């Protein structure tokens, strides 16, 4: 199954700037060091996939990119993550501001059960409290975000209904719409299709493919075919370390590191 056109990654890499630059990042749970000295550039407008076996630290790395890691007690981060050149871990930087610029979608759909479909989409805008845009503008943004998430046609007639009535795949696209509504610079996807059926998975993948260019996407996945289908660049992690990052077509055909080759040919993990 190869529903998308192959990506000419070499051309894209040449023009892309790093939107997000990770520098010597260590992440801990208590004394356990789960991310070990990772440095990687995440290029503007590109989709970067992070692959690796379970427990390799790929989700933790992702959670360090929008300061979600620190919401767990005993969790700790060392190193730098530069968003457009500014360290999001620098003193005086507000984690809440960071999270508004770097959106995140999780493995399981997380619509807010007490909110309507419409309110779910604009939930991030309303997080600003009094500074939230007026209702009419919220409606416009909601429609824009739902169209961007290829969900508008399915839900336009039932915006006031509970979001829980949607299917799992629709809920996940709703969560993507909710994140897009805040117009983030970077979109982090943590195994966004792990709980979805094949058809819903394909829709989310198409969506990721279409969003490239507009927003920088980092996607953790345990599915190598998925990484190959939708990403421009792929990073391989093993035991907390970043083994290799390369244009996707090259990483899967001519990996530089023998551990990468062992993993993608299925010899472990």
Instruction: Give the DSSP H/E element, type plus range, for residue 82.
Output: strand 75-83
**What distance in Å separates the CA atoms of residue 142 and residue 196, rounded to the nearest whole number?**
24
Residue 164 contacts other proteins per CB under 8 A: yes
CB of 268 to other proteins, least distance (A): 30
Residue 127 contacts other proteins per CB under 8 A: yes
Residue 145 contacts other proteins per CB under 8 A: no
Size of residue set near other proteins by CB under 8 A: 30
In eight-state DSSP terms, residue 115 is S
Instruction: Give the DSSP H/E element, type plus range, for residue 229.
Output: helix 224-230
CB of 78 to other proteins, least distance (A): 21
Q: Strand 75-83 relative to strand 86-87: parallel, antiparallel, unpaired?
A: antiparallel
> Cα Rg for the chain, rounded, in angstroms?
18
| Chosen residue from 19, 58, 69, 100 binding other proteins by CB under 8 A | 100
Tell me the C-alpha to C-alpha distance, in Å, between residue 171 and each of 100, 120, 221.
20, 10, 19
| Chosen residue from 145, 166, 174, 245 binding other proteins by CB under 8 A | 166
Hey, which residues between 237 and 256 contact other proteins (CB under 8 A)? none
Indicate the SS3 state at residue 5: coil
| Chosen residue from 42, 65, 104, 251 binding other proteins by CB under 8 A | 104
Q: Interface with other proteins by CB under 8 A: which residues?
A: 66, 68, 71, 73, 96-97, 99-100, 103-104, 106, 108, 110, 112-114, 123-124, 127-129, 162, 164-167, 175, 178-179, 182
């Amino acid at each position: 199954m190869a529903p998308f056109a192959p990506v000419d990654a070499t051309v894209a890499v040449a023009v892309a700037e790093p939107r997000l630059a990770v520098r010597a990042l260590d992440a801990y749970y208590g004394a356990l060091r789960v991310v070990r000295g990772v440095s990687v550039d995440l290029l503007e407008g590109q989709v970067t996939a992070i692959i690796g076996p379970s427990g390799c630290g790929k989700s933790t790395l992702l959670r360090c990119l929008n300061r979600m890691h620190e919401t767990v007690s005993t969790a700790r981060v060392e190193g730098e993550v530069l968003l457009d050149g500014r360290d999001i871990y620098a003193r005086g930087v507000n984690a809440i501001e960071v999270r508004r610029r770097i959106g995140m979608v999780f493995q399981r759909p997380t619509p807010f059960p007490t909110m309507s479909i419409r309110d779910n989409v604009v939930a991030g805008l309303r997080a600003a409290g009094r500074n939230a845009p007026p209702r009419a503008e919220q409606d416009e943004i909601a429609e824009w975000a739902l169209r961007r998430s290829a969900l508008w046609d399915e839900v336009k007639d039932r915006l006031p209904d509970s979001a829980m009535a949607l299917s799992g795949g629709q809920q996940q696209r709703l969560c993507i719409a909710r994140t897009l509504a805040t117009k983030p610079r970077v979109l982090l996807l943590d195994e966004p299709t792990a709980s979805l059926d094949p058809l819903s998975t394909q829709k989310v993948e198409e969506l990721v493919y279409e969003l490239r260019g507009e927003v920088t996407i980092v996607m953790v996945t345990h599915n190598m075919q998925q990484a190959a289908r939708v990403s421009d660049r792929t990073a391989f992690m093993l035991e907390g370390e970043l083994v290799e990052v390369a244009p996707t077509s090259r990483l899967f055909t001519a990996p530089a590191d023998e551990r990468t080759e062992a993993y993608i040919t299925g010899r472990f993990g």
